[in-house]
Structure 1
Amino acid sequence: MNTRKLGLLALLAAFIVAVLVWLPRDWLSLSAVQQSHATSVSWYHAHPQLACVAYFLIYVLVTALSIPGATLITLLGGAVLPFWLAVVIVSFASTTGALLAMLVSRYLLADWVSQRFPAQMRRVNDGIARDGAFYLFALRMMPLFPFFLVNLLAGVTRLSLWRYWWVSQLGMLPATLIYLNAGRQLSQLHSLADILSGGMLFAFALIGLLPLISRRLLGHFLHR
């Protein structure tokens, strides 16, 4: 690894540490988000445009740096912003953050990712080589790998930036809609487990597998 890459990695690591130190210790809790609800609503009504820009940038930062808390921020957005405005902001912010994380993986962390996650890397490389964007869509819909790990692994594949962008945008949209809708009843939530039931996760898995199954069946039919 050259000196330039080492310098960029050191700068990125220092920035992540600074962000984690600056954040309040209890911000990664449902109760903290619920307590900030009224203040956030007041700030949004007083400065709607500034609030939207700040929310977008914070969301991008959290997802790009793989800082835990994106789910809670999504819930807060659903509770504060008009629903469809929140859908647009969260959808593009989450995809932008995922793209930035993927670029960091591709240009700075490729060797580390390959050595740290060899089994997952082989599986993703095989899936991308076999099914292309359909496999990435399935990863986004099904909880096979955590969100941040999909970003890191995709960076070491040959996926183009444009394909990664639009597939991630589409694949993350259903969960975005569900969490934003749950945020509208933020005060009534007792835990994050109240949002996604086992049946809903199973439905996500079926949706994610459908393009793969269709592609396999079509390929088998054309081969015959």
Structure 2
Amino acid sequence: MNDAAKKILLIVVLALAVAAFFYFDLDKKLTLENIKQSQAELKRLYEQRPFMLIAAFVAVYIPMVTLSLPGATVLALAAGAMFGALVGTIVVSFASTIGATFACTISRYLLRDWVQRHFGDRLVKINEGIHREGAFYLFSMRLIPIFPFFVINLVMGLTGMPLRTFYWVSQVGMLAGTFVFVNAGSQIAQIDSLGGILSPQLLLSFALLGIFPLAAKKGMAFYRKKTGRKPVQPQ
């Protein structure tokens, strides 16, 4: 099977998975109300078979993030309701990062050549930014809520960033947001809406955290330029 046939097969499989998700109305079942109603049952299942429930959760969560399907936020709340804040954060952190890396890989495999042919000049500028700022570039985007995570996954797949760098930066960068939602899920009875979880103050805090690494790097570069100091080289 040649590369073109493999890509077509992968597209068909992905399309069928997305179609099945909506055909079985899973998007309508993954709601805050349903999670709140099932909280007691979910906790009981976790107490009886913790590893099986965690494995089942991860098996569902990773494909949802990989395919950018709606409901990942509700599942993060469900993780908090089932596993508690600490275990839930660990589980969602790894599952979401693995799913994001798969999405990045698929985007790179399916779209990068086409984008390179049609938008090569623009992609060069993005790659220059990645090369210049390195991990700070992705880390900042992960922390600033105005950038949807699925968009970041797809766009980073079009760049030359190594997947191992994408993985660990995403793991660290998404950790704060993951904790916010999972911790909220551990107190799910008090939540009335998804919008109520992220207050304007919290959104501003995330934005400032996202801007800080790049601002600090730019500030150090400006300082070195003015003083003539060279970057410290590792020994």
TM-score, normalised to structure 2's length?
Answer: 0.87
SS at match of 1:45: helix
Shift of 1:126: 4.9
Q: Which of these residues, 179, 183, 186, is aligned with residue 184 of structure 1?
A: 186
Contact 1:95 1:168 in 2 (8 A): yes
Paired with 2:58 and 2:225, the residues of 1 have a C-alpha distance of: 47
Q: Which of these residues, 153, 165, 168, is aligned with residue 167 of structure 2?
A: 165
Q: Which of these residues, 69, 90, 104, is aligned with residue 102 of structure 1?
A: 104
Shift of 1:114: 6.8
* Structure 2 match to 1:47: 49
Once the two structures are superposed, the pairs formed by residues 131-210 of structure 1 within 5 Å of their partners are: 131-210=133-212
Paired with 1:117 and 1:39, the residues of 2 have a C-alpha distance of: 51
Once the two structures are superposed, the pairs formed by residues 54-73 of structure 1 within 5 Å of their partners are: 54-73=56-75
Consecutive unaligned residues of structure 2, counting only runs of 5 or more, are 227-235
Paired with 2:127 and 2:213, the residues of 1 have a C-alpha distance of: 18
Shift of 1:209: 1.0
1:53-100 per-position Cα deviation (integer Å, ceiling 9, x unaligned)? 111121111111111111110111111113221121111001000000
Paired with 1:161 and 1:97, the residues of 2 have a C-alpha distance of: 12
The letter of the residue matching 2:180 is: I
Judged with a 3 Å threshold, the aligned counterparts in structure 2 of structure 1 residues 14 and 189 are, in CA distance, closer, same or farther, namely same
Judged with a 3 Å threshold, the aligned counterparts in structure 2 of structure 1 residues 66 and 116 are, in CA distance, closer, same or farther, namely farther
Contact 1:44 1:80 in 2 (8 A): yes
Runs of 4+ in 1 over 4 A off after TM superposition: 111-124
Deviates more, 1:42-51 or 1:123-132: 123-132
SS at match of 1:108: helix
Judged with a 3 Å threshold, the aligned counterparts in structure 2 of structure 1 residues 140 and 113 are, in CA distance, closer, same or farther, namely farther
Paired with 2:109 and 2:30, the residues of 1 have a C-alpha distance of: 30
Q: Which of these residues, 8, 30, 36, is aligned with residue 6 of structure 1?
A: 8
The letter of the residue matching 1:83 is: A
TM-score, normalised to structure 1's length?
Answer: 0.91
Judged with a 3 Å threshold, the aligned counterparts in structure 2 of structure 1 residues 122 and 207 are, in CA distance, closer, same or farther, namely farther
Judged with a 3 Å threshold, the aligned counterparts in structure 2 of structure 1 residues 17 and 167 are, in CA distance, closer, same or farther, namely same
Contact 2:30 2:75 in 1 (8 A): no
Deviates more, 1:126-135 or 1:158-167: 126-135
Deviates more, 1:83-92 or 1:96-105: 83-92
Shift of 1:172: 0.3
Judged with a 3 Å threshold, the aligned counterparts in structure 2 of structure 1 residues 82 and 30 are, in CA distance, closer, same or farther, namely closer
The letter of the residue matching 2:213 is: P
Contact 2:84 2:183 in 1 (8 A): no
1:91 aligns with 2:89: no
Alignment RMSD: 2.4
The letter of the residue matching 1:47 is: R
SS at match of 1:2: helix
Judged with a 3 Å threshold, the aligned counterparts in structure 2 of structure 1 residues 164 and 18 are, in CA distance, closer, same or farther, namely same
Judged with a 3 Å threshold, the aligned counterparts in structure 2 of structure 1 residues 16 and 185 are, in CA distance, closer, same or farther, namely same
Consecutive unaligned residues of structure 1, counting only runs of 5 or more, are none
Larger radius of gyration: 2
Judged with a 3 Å threshold, the aligned counterparts in structure 2 of structure 1 residues 119 and 40 are, in CA distance, closer, same or farther, namely farther
Paired with 1:118 and 1:183, the residues of 2 have a C-alpha distance of: 43
Shift of 1:116: 10
Contact 1:106 1:156 in 2 (8 A): yes
